[in-house]
Amino acid sequence: MYEFLKDFQTLIVGIPALIAAICAAWQVGGQLKQMQLQTNVSRRDLMAERVGELENRRAATMKPLRSVIENIGREIIQGEEVNPNIDSNFAFIWNMAISSELNRLYSRESDPQPLVDAIATTKQSLGQLNECLDALHRPYSMLGDPDLSDDDEKQLDVEEEKMRPQLGPRYIAFSASAKTLDVALGDYVSSVRNKLEKIDLELLR
């Protein structure tokens, strides 16, 4: 018996150390799993917050653009025809409103390229529509201005005549670009929501 114990002394002594190592590894593994779970929960919260932010951004961006489309469209679209002979006061009001909105249309560093492009195109087409509205109301808005010369008045009339036929095409171009922007914003929201759903699946495992 002594000889047996002597031969296996190292093994016998090592068994408790092995058991201790296994227990320690199991404990560390559990801690790692808990840390991973906490990380995924944090990622999930951040992603859910991001989805909410993007949905709010989409709504805030598109609401005033839809208002431009609906109100100007109601004024100039008659059946399938475009009537560019809008009231100068109407042109002035929407010229001011659009000027304010142009300052709020901008892309962000984290935006995907399709969204960056859609924002740039929409801003450009909205600016061109606003240029048209500006030209349509100026001959009337500036009547009585003591600093306005006869030549200036004639130039304003020329600009009005040139821009009036452009109102319909520019309105249509802006409407199309705004729809493309809405799609790009929706795609961005969907891509982030898909990441959120993947994290949810990981948490269910």
Please provide the DSSP assignment of 12-69 as one string.
Answer: HHHHHHHHHHHHHHHHHHHHHHHHHHHHHHHHHHHHHHHHHHHHHHHHHHHHHHHHHH
Instruction: Identify which has the larger pLDDT, 11 or 49.
Output: 49
- The most confident of the ranges 5-19, 23-37, 76-90, 94-108 is 94-108
Q: Is residue 15 very low, low, confident or very high in pLDDT (cuts 50, 70, 90)?
A: low
What is the arithmetic mean of pLDDT over 13-25? 59
Distance of CA 198 to the CA centre of its chain: 22
Q: Are 103 and 86 in contact (CB under 8 A)?
A: no
Question: If you average pLDDT over every residue of the chain, what do you get?
Answer: 82
CA 102, 60, 192, 38: dihedral to nearest 10 degrees?
120
d(CA 119, CA 204): 38
**CA dihedral over 89, 93, 96, 99, signed as positive or negative:** negative
**Least confident piece of the model among 114-118, 151-155, 192-196:** 151-155
Instruction: Say what the pLDDT of residue 7 is.
Output: 54
Percent of the chain with pLDDT over 70: 77
3-state secondary structure of 82: strand
Dmax over CA atoms of the chain, in Å, equals: 125
Q: Is the pLDDT confidence value at 79 over 90?
A: no
pTM of the shown model: 0.75
d(CA 100, CA 126): 11
Q: Is residue 84 very low, low, confident or very high in pLDDT (cuts 50, 70, 90)?
A: confident
